[in-house]
Amino acid sequence: MEKTKVAVVGSGNIGTDLMIKIMRNSSNMEMCAMVGIDENSDGLARAKGMGFVTTAEGLAGLEKMEEWNDIKIVFDATSAKAHHYNWGIVQKYPDKRIIDLTPAAIGPFLIPPVNFDASHDVRNVNMVTCGGQATIPIVAAVSRVAKVHYGEIVASIASKSAGPGTRANIDEFTETTAHAIEKVGGAERGKAIIILNPAEPSVVMRDTVFTLSEQADRDAIKDSILKMVAKVQTYVPGYTLHQEVQFDDIPESDPVFIEGLGHRHGLKTTVMLQVVGAGHYLPAYAGNLDIMTSAAMVTGERFAANNKN
């Protein structure tokens, strides 16, 4: 059966890793074109060496090429600012859709194991952030058992895995992730913190998720979390619990203050995760980038599969 042809926009680390993932592992997609703005980038050189169409003139350059007519899915691995421009091109073509790996958040947030079905017919979907892809499934898992008043995530990544695009989008990272904790995770209030860890040798991605919810059966919450971890592991094998799920009571007599909500009491759940990358193009410690490309790829796979039906 014919595969859906796709293009990757952004020839940096994320785009190059995604290209290799599609080439090696995709069942429903065919890598067709790599788009960049630096003709000397490693990503464009690799794509050209593999026989894919390349251009250093951005998406507008690809739009001029004959191959553009056959491309149905565009992966945007550029920046939040550039995505506005790229979406302006893609939205002119009803037969094409874009999967946004930047924090631009023009389209609805998509976390594959949580809300894919709600976004399957949308032409622009946003993959939130690496921290969001790692942690929002956990917030959602708690929300399925108990009402979550507050969700806070702390994402710690190796400094070496934070390229120019990541560093330029720090503000968008925190704002987009916090919003998605509420919109997709189900928390009344969300907060996100990112830490760039300069340790040598570089450490793998670590994420801590805190939720404050109404009191509920702790075994049911733990079971929901473990099932969600297993779902994420189907496309990110290096995604694991770093420690056992922890619970603490926040008594009504000693509530915590949450900005925008006031004082709240209930059950505090703490989940500690680590994400080890698959090492397709990026080093294993760059789990933050790997979970983004893996989430984008599994989303593309499902879109392409739906196109066949």
Please list the active-site residues.
130
232 vs 221: CA distance, rounded Å: 17
For 26, which DSSP code? -
CA dist 195 and 174 (Å) reads 11
The most distant pair of C-alpha atoms in the chain lies apart, rounded to whole Å, by 68
The whole-angstrom separation of Cα 33 and Cα 10 is: 11
Q: What is the rounded distance in angstroms from the CA atom of residue 216 to the CA atom of residue 146? A: 6
Contact 177, 105 (CB under 8 A): no
Tell how strand 256-258 and strand 246-250 pair up: unpaired
Residue 146 to residue 132: CA distance in whole angstroms: 20
197 contact partners, CB below 8 Å, separation of at least 6: 156, 157, 158, 159, 203
Question: DSSP 3-state assignment of 73?
Answer: strand
DSSP state of 287: H
From the number of C-beta atoms within 10 Å of its C-beta (0-12, 13-18, 19+), residue 95 rates as exposed
